[in-house]
A and B are shown apart, each in its own frame.
Chain A
Amino acid sequence: MRSALLKNPIIAFLISLKLTVVCLFLLAVLVLLGTIDQVEYGLYLAQQRYFNSWFVPGLYIVPGARLVIWVLFINLVSVLCLRFRYRWSNLGLILSHTGLIVLMLSAFMTLHFSEESFVQLKEAEQSNIASDYMLWELAVWKDGQQWIFKEKDLSIGNFVELRPVSKQRFDVQGAQKKVATAQKAGVALGDKSDFQNESIDTHKIYISTKYLNARYFDTPFAGRILKNLPVETDFEKNNRAVTLVVDNREITLEGEQESMAFVTIDHEQYIFELRRKQYTLPFAIQLLDVQRDLHPGTQTAKSYLSKVKVIEGDSKRKYTISMNQPFRSTAYTVYQSSYGIDLDGNEFTVLAVVKNQARLLPYISSLIISLGLFWHFGFAFFAYLRRRDV
């Protein structure tokens, strides 16, 4: 049975060592190119181009790392099922290759199911909302109803619709508080009166422009203008802006300075907000204290730490989160990411929040592969020494 299978040209191709070598070589080339490209395009874009793609954009005959890794995965599974002979002398090889499969699975799960976000808090503040580093979204709400449009929906020329929704997945109180703060700060939120008497017969929103990185600038003659800026290589620094057309009226939202606007449609007030993609955490974090310890006589930080209170239902627990010492709760892990002082002199902390159900898989796979490698090469080395003695 086995020998018959091995004669099948497809199977022979799938378990071929030459295929392994070609895939490993391609992967090495992609890793090299993806590393060099980071100088010009930054980590995020280079990662999307070479590592998260099936084919490298712009070089369509060149497979991306995603495709290469899938082929390697199939090659590896085929080899493990059909090629390896399961005996003690092959234990090292079997372990290391099985570990690789687990590692690839963990990469798959992390890529598709993990969420990376951050929470920025001043002392005494608390929040259960975390923001994405890279992705943005458009949120629209009225009277407790909310619509969220993902960044990929906000392409130029697209329409998005405000259909009635029944399920709420946002903190209404928090949103109202945010609006109040924006109004207090004098942020222009669109002229409500302009829309009061408009008759709007459609709830469609047209995306007329979208900028990956743009900011409002005050100019002496032209007033406030939105300027399209070059894309930052440090991708999370890019500030989005979109121009929406609602009932033939244009609303421009800019993520940093004018992220909200009020629009009245059919005598009902809607609030539009362009913001980093938000995640609702199953717990709230309250910052009690943030500390930075410096090396004596320098401005080099020795350590950062945040003392927090984690509120989950009725339970309130105090934790200290510092560099290399995160706080974990089920699939969530909260890390000390950054520290800063705002313009008013208030200290703030930035906590990275990662949700990853497969967090332990890389640990397990690393252990299995390392055991396999050391077992295999250790045996080979002792065999070499024995041969030498003979």
Chain B
Amino acid sequence: MFKRLVLVLFLFVTLPLAAKEIDLSQLEKVTVLEQGRYKPLASYARNLLLRFSGRSKIGKVDATQWFAETVFEPAKATSRKIFLINDPALLEALEIEPVKHRKYSFDQLEMSFEKLYGFTIAALNKEDVDRTDLDKEFIRVYSNFNSYHQLLNSFSIFFNHSDFDIAQTTEYLGIKTGENNLFAILKTSNRLEEWMSNLDISSVKQLSEKDKEVVRLALALYSWIETHKAFDELYTPIEEFKLIPIGQEMMSIWDLMENSNKPELLLLNSVYQAYQSANQAQFDESIIAFNTLVKPRLIDKRIHTDLELLYNKINPFGNAKFLYGLAFLLVMTSFIFLPMLFRWLSLSMSLCGFALHLFGLVSRVIIQGRPPVTNLYETFIFVALITAMIGLIIYKVVDKNLGLILTSFVALLLLLVSGKFASDGDTMQVLIAVLDSNFWLSTHVVCISIGYAGVFMAGVIGHVYIIQRFFAGNSISELAQRSYRLILPVLAFGLCFSFLGTMLGGIWADQSWGRFWGWDPKENGALLIVLWSSIIFHARLAGMLKEFGIALASVFACVVVITSWFGINLLGVGLHSYGFTNGLATALYAYYAFEALFIIVFGFIPLSLMRKRKDKSQVDDYEATKVA
């Protein structure tokens, strides 16, 4: 604990020279290894910031600027409120005053570190099943605090510090003026050692001022190195900022400190010094030289730095969300006035949103070198794209208004949900061995996702139809008829792909595990979609479901799709249980409640009213016949 505080003190004593105005476009291109994937530093910074704060920006400060401030000017960075804490009970336990935006700084957490540490250890000592939401929140916050703490120290060997102030021995050690940092002293360690070996330290009084300075420097050197080693033992896992490829491994600056003459360290020191002195040219040149030096040594040469930077800058899905939202507002406005103009504007926004959406997806395919659907986040993006595509086809072929509403609303909804999966950091994760098959990912997973999109879209059209019927009263409007006529073709599209995807999944399972079907929850989920869609078609043919019944059944198909898609993952069993969070469980239950309410209010109540009316009209007809 003491050592921890000592290192924190290092950071505070080391004051930055001034706020820097420096262009970071070269820094963004530095390749970093994180979670098994090489990526540009901009992505790494963005993922970290997302993980800590749930946002990719802090006000106007983007992730790379925040990162540069954190590693180059830690004393300034620690007051930034970046830690998102959702649970008020945690704040109460740490005696931190809650704030509306729910973000807190490193300084605030550091003040309550003893408590945070104590509660986290208590939570970690429990079995996973016994942990409460609060325990999980403590573990999450503590983990983020530790990662941030390690980040703050990434470049600290280059920081000037009073521990390494030199006045008497500058010439002997060969240190330039102003280089009072660990890195400079490390370079002179041989000379320090030589001096120390000739010293008689039995009598302090006999030591000259130069001797005392050398002893002080040697002690400081020892203390800093030991403190860092203690940190390595304290942190699990160690999440140091690793950017120097050595053999098969990526190393951090601290990993290499004993080889202080390594050109990589000299260049990174130069980067740091250039940042401090706001020397743009030196900053850029040092980074370019560093990149040129290390890139050929990276194991994976398939790095699309420029494309990934463009992808980050454009933020295609965020902007597509905005455009779809705007398109939805515009098409709704078109019902009130200037229908042609607003519909045209809505179409333009939808197409722009779709283009961005497609760009984002294609970029991910190129960057990752694999098909677009490998985790839950990507399934939402992909399914959103397919639903938008179906919506645009409906616009072109069947009904313009309905097409625009479906395109914009469903894609917006799904992209909004996808955002929930992106807040944990990198959404381009590496694949486990069994999933690492581009052929099956591009056939089975893509087909299943298209199937989700088709059946879900049929369900949404079912919703539209029921609402149209609800507001139309007794008469069935032409609009509602048009919606109804769409349900079955779209459902058939979904059924075909769901079935094909399920069978391809069986074939993949047969290739990987030796069995075509194993009743795994995810397989069962896919089967449920196929079964429910088949029930609708057969029940229609058997005369068991009429128009309204088919629409209601298709609404329920949405529930089946959502259950199969990510509700199954809530069970936490089987071969596909991944990517589920507590927040999503609540959202899922809320969705079920919404659909239940929808089916009752818009479905069953009007249906029973219709039946009553029908019975009454039959009685009236009978009475009339009798009278006649």
Contact = CB atoms under 8 A, between A and B. Distances in A.
Contacts, number: 163
A116 B514 contact: yes
Interface stretch (B15-23, B154-162, B198-206, B532-540): B532-540
A190 interface: no
**Best-surrounded residue of A295, A296, A359, A388 (most CB of chain B within 10 A):** A296
Contacts of B516: 106, 110, 362
Given A20-B542, A373-B495, A381-B489, A38 B574 contact: yes
B322 interface: no
A295 B136 CA distance: 27
A108 interface: no
A324 B512 contact: yes
Given A43-B519, A46-B519, A385-B397, A323 B507 contact: no
**Best-surrounded residue of A25, A34, A326, A370 (most CB of chain B within 10 A):** A370
Interface in B369-405: 397-398
Contacts of B38: 296
Size range of the chain A interface in the assembly: 35 or more
Interface stretch (B79-87, B419-427, B430-438, B459-467): B430-438
Contacts of A381: 489, 492-493
A21 B397 contact: no
Interface string A326-355: 100000010101000000000000001110
Nearest to A28: B531
B527 interface: yes
B519 A324 contact: no
A47 B519 contact: yes
Nearest to A26: B531
Nearest to B495: A373
Contacts of A354: 514-515
Contact of B492 (A304, A323, A380): A380
Contact of B525 (A35, A110, A369, A373): A35
B249 interface: yes
B568 interface: yes
A301 B433 contact: yes
A86 interface: no
Contacts of A237: none
Contact of A296 (B299, B434, B495, B535): B299
Interface residues of B, number: 65
A34 B503 CA distance: 20
B288 interface: no
Nearest to B430: A295
A32 interface: yes
Contacts of B517: 107, 110, 362
Interface string A352-387: 111010010011001001100110010011001100
A121 to B, nearest CB: 17
Contacts of A42: 573
Given A20-B542, A39-B573, A303-B433, A362 B511 contact: no
Contacts of B499: 369-370, 373
Interface of A: 16-18, 20-21, 24-25, 27-28, 31-32, 34-36, 38-39, 42-43, 46-47, 51, 106-107, 110, 116, 233, 294-298, 300-304, 323-324, 326, 333, 335, 337, 352-354, 356, 359, 362-363, 366, 369-370, 373-374, 377, 380-381, 384-385, 388
Interface of B: 33-38, 242, 248-250, 299-300, 397-398, 430-434, 436-437, 440, 485, 489, 492-493, 495-496, 499-500, 503-504, 506-508, 510-521, 524-525, 527-528, 531-532, 534-535, 538-539, 541-542, 544, 568, 571-574
